[in-house]
Each structure stands twice: as structure tokens, then as C-alpha cells.
Structure 1
Amino acid sequence: MDFLQLPKRTSGNRRYGLTSIADFGTPFGQLKSILDDYGHIIDIAKIGIGSAYVTPNLQRKIDLYKEHGIKPYCGGTLFEKCYQQNKIPEYLSCLRRLGIEWVEVSNGTLDIPLKERLEIIAKAREHFHVIAEVGSKDSSLEMSISEWKEEMNLFLEAGCEYVITEGRDSGTSGIYEKGGSVKSDLISELIKDIDTKRIIFEAPTPKHQMFFINAIGANVNLGNVKLEDVLILESQRCGLRSETFYLEDCHANHLNQTPAHSME
């Protein structure tokens, strides 16, 4: 089908408009079937939490993702486990052997000093594309808006390709309230001052995804997307769902303001 006027989507080896899925143990055969149909609308694949360490057929999975042009990486929890046990060099060496070219530096479970995270990023950038996550998985820990902005800007200045806003796979911490609602005031401030093309917003449910699509546009970067939701998400991005039906080519104004960085 190619006759409707829809919001223009980025395509190919996208730099923004990314869909980053979370793989929490999809069996290899099932994954192959999913990617045969939907691989073209997936850009990044996070092998969730620390599951890569115990995943059967891990090398085959990594190779399969790469065959479909999808960038695989390991969840930040595995990075933090390696940090806790002073095994970061071994971890990075293992990633290189596996052919993984992306690494996440996170702070979701441990309280890793900012200076140390920046030092690890500087070292990892010698061989990897680096993504840094901002925010805690503990919903009782609050960061001020200025702290969010400071960390995100420092990571981007340090050479990270993207920064991820913590949301967990449940959507109940980081950029979300305990009950799952989006901290819209925080998002409003972040998109004023930081290039949204460099932010991956964790949005684990269609409800969360619709918020960011309406707030920023069809080509917002979204992470922690469930594999079974990737076609729903692409439909939402294209204005093919009631909640995004009137989506325009550039961006909507869900936050009652114009974001500083357009997404055309």
C-alpha cells in the first residue's frame, strides 16, 4: 500500500526515529520469524537486564540481529554487575569477541559516581559506540531537572552516541511516576535544551509510546519496546491509530509548547 499521506519516517540505517527493542529471552527460532517480518522497523536490540550472560545461542542471536541491520547490545544491569565485581575490562573484551559494537553505561541499580562513568565512557569509546543511561530504577530516588540535564549533556559531550532516559520495562521509575504516568514537566524541560535526536526515551507500553510520538513527532527515538509491539508502534508513528490519527509530519504540541529541536 502506498497511496495515503502519512508522517514521513526515517529509514535505512537511521540516526534518529529509532525503535530499540528489549529482548528478555526470545527463543532463537521465534526471533528469526519475527525479524523476517519486522526486522526493517527495528534499529537496536537490547538483550535485557543481565540475561546475555546466561542466554543460550547468544552468538547466533547477535549474528541474526546484525544480519538484519539491527545493532545489538547488552542491558545496563550486566554492565553494573561487571562494575561491582571489577570486571569491566573482561566485559569489554567479551563484547568485542562476540562482535557487539555498542555498550551501555548505566547507573540504574548501583550508585556509580559520575566521574567514574565518564572515565569508563572515555575508555569504552576506543572500541565501541557508547550509550549512557540517566536515571535510577529505584522510584523513590528523585533527580532534579537540572541534574537530569547536567548528566545528559555531560555524556553527550563525552562522546556518547545517545543518552537513554530510564523508564524500566514497567514504566514506573525514572521519567515515570510510580503509577506509570509520564513526568511531563521533566520531559518539557529536557526537550527544550537537549537535541531529541540524541535521546532514547524508554517507553515500554503503547500508552507511553503514544505520549512521546504526540509530544515530539513520528521520528522520536523510543526504547524498551516489546518485540510483539513493534508493528503497533510503527502504526502509531504513521498516524494509523486513533490516538495519533492527526499526527503531522514534523511534531505535535502535546506539551503545549514547541520543542527546541524539530524532527524533520
Structure 2
Amino acid sequence: MEFLELPKRTAGNRTYGLTSIIDLGTPLEELKSILHDYAPLIDIAKLGFGSAYVTPNLKKKVDLYKQHDIHPYFGGTLFEKCYYQNKIPEYLASLRDFGIDYIEVSNGTLNIPLQERLDLISRIKKDFRVIAEVGSKDSSQEMAVSQWKDEMKQLLEAGCQYVITEGRDSGTAGIYEKNGNIKCNLISELIQDIDSKKIIFEAPTPKHQMYFIKEIGANVNLGNVKINDVLVLEAQRRGLRSETFYLEDSECKLPL
């Protein structure tokens, strides 16, 4: 159907308006069925936590995503585990073996100094598209708005393709309060100073997703989207849900 006036969506090999899903163990045959219909709605697929290390048929799953023009990568927790055990060279070699060109550099569990992350990014950005996560998975740790901004700016200047705002798959840390409420003032401050097209906001539930769509527009980058929610999310982006019914053209809402 092509007769309604809806917010315009980026398409194809898009650089913003991204939907980044979290794969928490979707069986291979089930994934084939899902991607048969919904692959065009997905841009990036994160194999959550450190689950990639114990995923059956991992190579087949990675290849399946790539066949559908979706960029797969391994969750930041696996990166941090490798960092903790001094196995980063082995980790990078493994990514190359799997033909994965995205890597997440995070410090959600460990407190990896910013300068160490920046140095690593400068070394690997020629071989990988780097996504860096900002914020802690520990809901008791609070970062000042100025620290959020400073880290995100430095990570982008170091060569990251995108920065991710930590939210966990539960939406209870980082940019969220323990009860799941969004830190609205923080988001408002971030998008004033940083190009929102370079930020992937972790938004694991439709409620969280609708907030960012209404605040930033249909082409906001959203991460930690559950694979079974991609159609719901696309309908929300296009103003086809009550909460986003009056959504305007997204291009005019994204901060320039």
C-alpha cells in the first residue's frame, strides 16, 4: 500500500534511521524465517552479551545476517571479557575469521579508562567499523551530563562510526532510571551538542522507542531492539501507532 502520507524513512544501506536488534539466542531456522520477511527493516544485529562465544552454528548465523545485508557483531560484554583476560588480539583475529567488520568497544561492566579505549580505537579503526558504548550497566553509577558529552565527542573524534548510549536490554541503567524511566534531561542535552545521527540509543521496549521517535524523529537510531519487535518499531516510525499518530516528517526533526 502506497497511498498515505507518512514520515519519510531512510532505506537501503542507510547511515542513520538504523534499527539495531539484539539477538539473544534466536535458533537458526527461526532466524531464517524472520529474516525472510523482515530483513529490510534491520540494519545491525548484535549477538547479545557474550553469547556469541557459546552460540551453536555461529558461522552460519553470521553468514545468514550478512546474506541479508545486515551487519552482525558481538556484544560489548565479550569485548570486555577479552580485555579482562588480555585476549584482545585473539578476539580481533576471531572477528576477521568470521568476516565481521563491526566491533563494539564498551566499558559497561569494567571501568576501562577512556584513554585506553581511545588508543585501541585508533589502532583498529582501519580494519573495523567501531561502535563505542558510553555509560555503565550498574544503575547505581551516575555520570554527569558533561562526562557523557565529553566521552561521546572524544570517541567520535577518535574514529568511531557511532556511539551507543547504555540502556541494557532491560532499560534500567545508563540513560534510564532504575525504574525504567528515561533521563529526559540527559537526552535533551546530548542531542543539542552531538549529531543524533551518530548516536544509537538503546531502547529495548516499544515505550522507550516511542519516546525517541517523538523527540528526535522517525529516523532516530535505535538499538537493543528485540528481533520480534522490528515490525512494531517500523509501524511506530511511520506514524502507524496511536502514540506516534501525528508524527511529522522526520527529516525536519533531526538536529543538524
Say yes or no: TM over 0.5: yes
Instruction: Flag structure 1 segments of 5+ consecutive residues without an equivalent.
Output: 253-257
Structure-2 separation of matches of 1:60 and 1:180: 35
Structure-2 separation of matches of 1:160 and 1:101: 13
Structure 1 counterpart of 2:64:
64
Deviation at 1:5, TM superposition (A): 0.3
Structure-2 separation of matches of 1:52 and 1:250: 35
Q: Deviations over 1:123-174 (max 9, x none)?
A: 1112100000000000000000000000000000000000000000000000
Structure-1 separation of matches of 2:142 and 2:251: 29
Structure-2 separation of matches of 1:21 and 1:145: 27
Alignment of 1:45-124 (within 5 A): 45-124=45-124
Structure-1 separation of matches of 2:114 and 2:199: 19
Structure 2 counterpart of 1:127:
127
Deviation at 1:122, TM superposition (A): 1.0
Structure 1 counterpart of 2:142:
142
Structure 2 counterpart of 1:227:
227
Alignment of 1:202-217 (within 5 A): 202-217=202-217
Deviation at 1:251, TM superposition (A): 6.4
What one-letter code is carried by the residue in structure 2 that aligns with 1:136? Answer: S
Residue 183 (structure 1) aligned with residue 161 (structure 2): no
What one-letter code is carried by the residue in structure 1 that aligns with 2:125? Answer: R
Structure-2 separation of matches of 1:95 and 1:143: 31
Q: Deviations over 1:10-29 (max 9, x none)?
A: 00001000000000100000
Judge conservation of contact 1:214–1:247 (CA < 8 Å) in 2: yes
What one-letter code is carried by the residue in structure 2 that aligns with 1:170? Answer: S
The runs of 4+ residues in structure 1 deviating greater than 3 Å are none
Structure-1 separation of matches of 2:127 and 2:10: 27
Structure-1 separation of matches of 2:208 and 2:251: 16
Judge conservation of contact 2:122–2:158 (CA < 8 Å) in 1: yes
Q: Deviations over 1:93-113 (max 9, x none)?
A: 000000000000000000001
Q: Secondary structure in 2 aligned to 1:197?
A: helix
Structure 2 counterpart of 1:199:
199
Q: Secondary structure in 2 aligned to 1:31?
A: helix
Q: Deviations over 1:49-84 (max 9, x none)?
A: 000000000000000000000000000000000000
Structure-2 separation of matches of 1:114 and 1:24: 28
Structure 1 counterpart of 2:21:
21
Structure 2 counterpart of 1:240:
240
Judge conservation of contact 2:8–2:251 (CA < 8 Å) in 1: no
Structure-1 separation of matches of 2:224 and 2:123: 26
Judge conservation of contact 2:44–2:71 (CA < 8 Å) in 1: yes
What one-letter code is carried by the residue in structure 2 that aligns with 1:2? Answer: E
Q: Secondary structure in 2 aligned to 1:189?
A: helix
Q: Secondary structure in 2 aligned to 1:176?
A: coil
What one-letter code is carried by the residue in structure 1 that aligns with 2:115? Answer: K
Structure 2 counterpart of 1:8:
8
Structure 1 counterpart of 2:159:
159
What one-letter code is carried by the residue in structure 2 that aligns with 1:209? Answer: Q
Judge conservation of contact 1:133–1:165 (CA < 8 Å) in 2: yes
Structure-2 separation of matches of 1:86 and 1:250: 44
Structure-2 separation of matches of 1:208 and 1:176: 9
Count of residues in correspondence between the two structures: 256
What one-letter code is carried by the residue in structure 2 that aligns with 1:148? Answer: W
Q: Deviations over 1:198-227 (max 9, x none)?
A: 000000000000000000000000000000
Q: Secondary structure in 2 aligned to 1:248?
A: coil
- TM-score, normalised with respect to structure 2: 0.98
Structure-2 separation of matches of 1:80 and 1:153: 21
CA RMSD of aligned residues (A): 1.0
Aligned-pair identity (%): 71
